[in-house]
Amino acid sequence: MFTRAIVRKPCRAMLNGLSEANMGDPNYALACEQHQDYINALKECGLQVTELPAIEEFPDSCFVEDVALLTPKCAILTHPGAISRRGETSHIEDAISEFYPNIERIDSSGHVEAGDIMMVANHFYIGLSDRTDVNGATQLINILAKHNLTGSMVEMSELLHLKTGLSYLENNKLLTFGEMNTHPDFTQFNRVEIDGDEGYAANSVWINDTVLVPKGFPKALHKIQQLGYKTREVAMSEFQKLDGGLSCLSLRF
């Protein structure tokens, strides 16, 4: 169960955000509208939402998921692999300290972005991507161990972040896409493959038995509904242009 979420309003500078999507520039007004609907969806799932203001200095700062890992036992500030995103962590710290008295942190010798981390009960899968390295993942596993939590590293080569191609929907159900469809680390799960032409929907978000699904991916929506979940579609076109998925837009805890 999650009870809270933290989000940050997109900034006008989001047009300069990191992207390899080649889908054109985001429309800021539409992005704000979509972000508001995302907040509405979180609230419909029963979450209390802390809404942080936009920071123009950091174009990607609405993607708050990457800069912290919030677990039931501890909060960990990351050290993003993307240089332009490193300053975002200090901006999230105040919001997190309201809920977590002791905040752990990844030091600057390693890199972690929490879009690379998937929580399954007390275990945390950590994707080794261009944004998260072995040093950062090792630091993270050591911090988790102090809190009786475990972590393991996941080799990957194609995706931006681990959760670009994986979403855990609880009850042993895992959405997969691309290289994650056959990845040996996830054979124990009931895997549901998202079709290649709807890969963006592999980043869907389980919240208290509702699954948020990006709008416009009917086959993925149907598959998730067939698993027995209530679904809530959220339009994400403007964030997709910046390689951002549904999970990236919030910290849920």
**CB 19 → ligand GLY: shortest distance, Å?**
6
175 binds ligand GLY (CB under 6 A): no
- 161 has catalytic annotation: yes
Residues 77, 87 contacting (CB under 8 angstroms): no
18 binds ligand GLY (CB under 6 A): yes
Selected range binding ligand GLY among 17-25, 139-147, 199-207, 226-234, rule: CB under 6 A: 17-25
Q: Which of residues 64 and 194 has its CB atom nearest to ligand GLY in the complex?
A: 64
Selected range binding ligand GLY among 1-9, 12-20, 67-75, 181-189, rule: CB under 6 A: 12-20
Selected range binding ligand GLY among 41-49, 97-105, 120-128, 242-250, rule: CB under 6 A: 242-250
82 binds ligand GLY (CB under 6 A): yes
Residues 229, 209 contacting (CB under 8 angstroms): yes
Closest residue by beta carbon to ligand GLY: 18
- 45 has catalytic annotation: no
